[in-house]
A and B are shown apart, each in its own frame.
Chain A
Amino acid sequence: MSTAIFVKRPARRMERYAPALLLGVALAIYVAIALGLGLTRFLTPEAAIAILNRSIALGITAVGQTFAILVGSIDLSVAHLISASAVVASAIMNGDPAMMLPAVLAVLLMGALVGTLNGLMITRLEVNPLIATLGMALIIQGCLASFHGRFGGSVPDAFQYFAYGAVLGLPVSLIVLTLLVLAAWIVLRFTRFGSNIYSVGGNRDTARAAGIKTTRVVMASHIICSLCASLAGLYLASRLKSGSPWIGTEGAYDLESIAVVVIGGTILSGGKGGIWGTVAGVIIFSLIDSIFNLAGVDAFAKQVMRGIIIVAAVAFYAIRSKRIVA
C-alpha cells in the first residue's frame, strides 16, 4: 500500500464520524446542564426514551428524506403529505376500529402515488426537484383546504397504541422507528438498489453509462420518501387522536427533515452520507430541545440556536471536504 493512502485516511475517518462527534458534544452539554442544575432525574433511561420519543415523526420523515437527498434529489412535499395522511386516516377510520386496516392501506397508497408523481415530474418532465416537490406541496395543500370541513373524524382508541403503546417498557413508536432505520440501513448498505442510489446521486451520467436505470432509482427513492411521510402522518394521527390539515406544516417537517439529514453529514448534492448520520441528526435536534427545556430558555431562542447549528454543521463539513481535496 502506498504511503499516500495512509496519509489521507485519518482525515476521511474524521469526516465519517463527524456526526457522531456532534452528537457526543450535544450529549455532553445536555448532561453537564442536567448535572449543573442538579436535575438527575433527567439522566435516567426513562428520560432518554422520552427524548427519543419526542422525535418519532421527524425521525420517520427524515429516514425517507435521506433516500431522496442521497439520490441527488430533495422532497419539499413531505410536510403537506404528513397533514394529508393524518387527515385521511382519521376521516376513514372515523372512530371505527374495523376501518383501521383500510385507512392505513389508503394512506400508504396515497403516499406511493405522491412519490410516483414526484418521481415522474423529476425524471420524465425533468423539473428541478425543488420546484417539482414544491408544486406537489401546494397541490396537496390546496386539496386539503378545499376538502376541509367535510373531513372530520378521529382515530379509534385501538389505533393510539401506535403512539402510546409499549412493549417491554419501550414505546411501540420507537420500536417502529428503530426497525425502519435498520431496514433503511440494510437497503442502503447491502442491496444493489442501495448501491445504485449512491451511484445515481454521485454522478447520474456515470451511473447511466454503467447501465443503471437511473430514472427507476430516482422514482423508487421518491416513493420511499413519500411512504415514510405517510407513515409519519399515521403516527401523528395516532398521537393526536385526529388529523388536522396543519400538523405537518406546524411541525415544519419539510425543512426540519432536510436539516437533520444534512447535519447527519449527507451532502445535499447526493451520493454521500447515510442513515446513521440522519439518526444522529434527529437525536441532536431532540437533545437541543431538551437542553433548552432544562435551561428554561424560551422557544424563540431555541429556534435561533437550531438555525446556527444547521449552518455551523454544514460549514464544518464543507471545510473538511475541501481540505481532503487539497
Chain B
Amino acid sequence: MSSPAIEMRGITKSFPGVKALKSVSFSAFSGEVHALAGENGAGKSTLMKILSGLYRPDGGAVIVGGTERHFTHPLAAIRAGIAVIYQEFSLLPERTVAQNIFLGREPTRFGLIDHRAMNDEARRVLALFGSAHRIEPDTVVADLDVASQQLVEIAKAVSLDARVIVMDEPTAALNEAECEVLFGLVDTLRKRGVAIVYITHRMREITRLADRVTVLKDGETAASFDHVPEPDAIVRAMVGRDLGDFYAEPARLEEIGDVVLSVRNAGNDRLKSVSFDLRAGEIVGFAGLQGAGRVALAQAIFGFTPFTEGEVTLAGTPARFTSPREAIRAGVGLLPGDRKAEALVLMQSVSDNGMLTARALSGLSAKADATPFVSAEEMETLLRNVDVRAGSFSQDIKALSGGNQQKAIVARWLALAPRLLIFIEPTRGIDVNAKAGIYHLMRDLARKGAAIMMVSSDLPEVLGASDRILVMRSGELVAAFPRGVSEADIMLAATGEEAVAA
C-alpha cells in the first residue's frame, strides 16, 4: 500500500485535570473508511481537533501526504485538504444555508461575493444527498430542523473537495432514510479516493461502512483492526471491562413505590400534551433525538421554562412550578447537561459548589457554613460518600475531572434530600470508570426512595441504566418501553420511521 493520506504518530495532549490523549497513533489511506470508535470522553474528538488544527498536540507528529505538518490554524489544515464535520454543530444560525456552506471561502466576482454562484453551488452539493428540494440555499439555518442542519454541516465539508474528511458521529440527528443517504455518500466519496475517518459508537455503522477500525479508550489506543471484527470485540475494547457490573442492578419489583411525579396533558410551546408517572425507586430513561423535547420537559418540570397547560402533581400536591426555586423547595433537583456552563461555579471550591443550593435556599440569617439543610462538615461527609476524589475539598472545582465534578453536584442535591432528581446527560464527557460510579450512585438514590428521571442521548446508557424507557419526538411522548428493549426499537420510535431494512 502507498503512504497514508494522513498519519498521526504518538499524539499526546493534556488539558487541566485530564490527560486526554496518551501517545495515540492513527492513520487513514485514500479510498478507505477508517472507523474511530470509543466511548464518550475516550479522546476521539480531541484527536480529530488536533488533526484539524484547532488544538495543538503536546507531543507527536501529524503527517499529511508524507510530510510532517504543524497546523497552527484550521485554515492550514483545510488548505492541506482536511475537512472536519464536528459533532457539535459549527453552523451560524443567523446566516443562510449557502453562507454557511461557503463560510470563509465565498466565491467572488470582481471582488464581490457572487451570490448566484454560491447558491447554485450550494444547490449542487445538497443535491448529492437528494435534499436539494428540501433545503433551499437562501434559508436561514435557524429555520431548519436538526436533521437538515446536520446535512448542511456535511455539505459544507463535502463542498471543500477535501482529500480527508472526518465525520464525527454524523448520524446522531438523522433518521433511517437520511442515514442511508449518508452511507451512500460515504461510499461515493470512498470510490473517489477520499480518505474518510468515521467516528461513531454504533456497531451497525461500523459493520456497514468501515474498512478498518481503531478503538480508543481513556485517551489510549485500546485496539486496532485491519478488518472489521465482530461487534463484540469492538465493544469489549471500548468498555475495557465486562459489561456485567458496569451498570447497577435494575430495581426489583418490591423496590418500586408510590407515584412521586404525575404529569397529565402538560405542555408549553415546545411540549405537546405530555402524560406520564414517575415512581419512587425507579430510574426512567428519556430517549429521543436532539431537540425532541426531553430537555424542555426536564426544564418544564423544574420550573425553568414552565408548563403553560396540563396538570402536574408531586407526591399528590399540585406542582406546576414557575421557578426552579419553587421546584427545589418542593423536592425536585436537576443536574444539567452542560456542567461547566449550567451547574458549576468554576472558580469556587469543591465544598462551596456542594453548598451552593443549600445556601441559596436558606434565609438571610442562616450561616454560610451551617445552613438549615446541611453544614459544611456534613457536606464534606456527603462529598466523601459519593466518592469525589480531590486533593482537598477547598481546592477550586475546575481542576477536578468531569466525573468528580458530576459527583460533587450529586452531593449538592443529596443535601436537600430531593424526592425527584433529574439527570440530563449524566455522564457526558466522563471517563468510563467514573461513569460506572455515577450509575451506581443513581441506583443508590433510587433505592433510598427517590424517583430518577434520566435524559440521555447515549443509547447504551439509556438501555443499561434505566428501569423503564420513554421516547420523545417533536415535543411528544411517543413510546414507552420496559427494560430490555433493543436499540433499534428506540431509534425507530425516536425518528418516527416505520421499520426500514436496517
Interface contact B103-A207, CB-CB below 8 Å: yes
Interface digits, B84-111 against A, CB 8 Å rule (1 contact, 0 not)?
1010001111110001000111101001
B461 within 8 A of A: no
Given the contacts A207-B104, A211-B74, A212-B75, A326 and B145 also touching, CB distance less than 8 Å: no
CA distance A2 to B108 in the complex (A): 31
| A191 neighbours in B (Cβ, 8 Å) | 108, 111-113
CA distance A195 to B108 in the complex (A): 12
Contact pick for A199, options B103, B112, B269, CB 8 Å: B103
Chain B stretch 102-147: residues in CB contact (< 8 A) with chain A: 103-106, 108, 111-113, 115, 133-134, 136, 139-140, 142-145
Interface majority SS on A: helix, strand, loop or mixed?
A: helix
- Chain B facing A: main interface SS: loop
Is A210 located at the chain interface by the 8 A CB criterion?
yes
Specify the chain A residue showing the minimal Cβ separation from B77: A211
- The listed residue with most A CB atoms (<10 A of its CB), out of B112, B134, B143, is B143
- Cβ-neighbour of B94 out of A186, A192, A205, A271 (below 8 A): A271
Q: How far is the CA of A1 from the CA of B79 in the complex (A)?
A: 35
Binds B, one of A4-12, A24-32, A224-232, A247-255: A4-12
Q: Is the CB of A206 within 8 A of B270?
A: no
> Which of A1, A8, A186, A211 has a CB less than 8 Å from the CB of B104?
A211
Least CB distance, B442 to chain A, in whole angstroms: 31
- CB <8 Å contact, B112 and A206: no
Is the Cβ of B103 less than 8 Å from the Cβ of A326?
no
Known: A202-B95, A203-B92, A272-B94. A212 touches B145 (CB 8 A): no
Name B's A-contacting residues (CB within 8 A): 52, 54, 73-75, 78-79, 84, 86, 90-95, 99, 103-106, 108, 111-113, 115, 133-134, 136, 139-140, 142-145, 156, 269-270
Smallest distance from the beta carbon of B483 to chain A beta carbons, Å? 35
Asked if A148 is at the interface of the complex by the 8 Å CB criterion, the answer is: no
Contact between chains at A5 and B143 (CB < 8 Å):
yes
Q: Does A196 contact B (CB under 8 A)?
A: yes
Q: How far is the CA of A9 from the CA of B143 in the complex (A)?
A: 8
Residues of A within 8 A of B99 (CB): 195, 198
Most central of B94, B106, B113, B140 by chain A CB within 10 Å:
B94
Q: Among B54, B106, B108, B111, point to the contact of A209 (Cβ < 8 A).
A: B54
Total of A-B residue pairs, C-beta within 8 Å = 90
Return the chain A residue nearest B86 by Cβ.
Answer: A209
Q: Which residues of the other chain, B, contact A8 by a CB distance below 8 angstroms?
A: 143
**B-binding residues in A (CB < 8 A):** 1-2, 4-5, 8-9, 12, 186, 190-192, 194-196, 198-199, 202-203, 205-213, 271-272, 324, 326
How near does chain A come to B122, taking the closest CB pair, in angstroms? 14
- Whether A326 pairs with B270 at a CB distance below 8 angstroms is yes
Do B84 and A209 touch across chains, with their CB atoms under 8 A apart? Answer: yes
Q: Give every chain A residue within 8 A of B106 (Cβ-Cβ).
A: 192, 195
What are the 3 tightest A-B residue pairs by CB atom distance, in nearest-first order? Answer: A211-B75, A212-B104, A210-B103
Contacts of B74 in A (CB 8 A): 208-211
16 residue pairs A–B, Cβ–Cβ below 8 Å: A1-B133, A1-B136, A4-B143, A12-B143, A190-B112, A191-B111, A192-B104, A198-B99, A202-B93, A208-B73, A210-B90, A210-B156, A211-B79, A212-B104, A271-B92, A272-B94
Give chain A residues whose Cβ lies under 8 Å from the Cβ of B115. 190
In the complex formed, the residue of B with least CB distance to A273 is: B94
Contacting pair A196 B104 (CB below 8 A): yes
Closest B residue to A325 using CB positions: B142
Residues of chain B within 8 A of A202, CB atoms compared: 92-95
Q: A202-B92, A206-B91, A212-B103 are in contact. Are A192 and B108 (CB under 8 A)?
A: yes
Q: Which residues of A contact B144 (CB under 8 A)?
A: 5
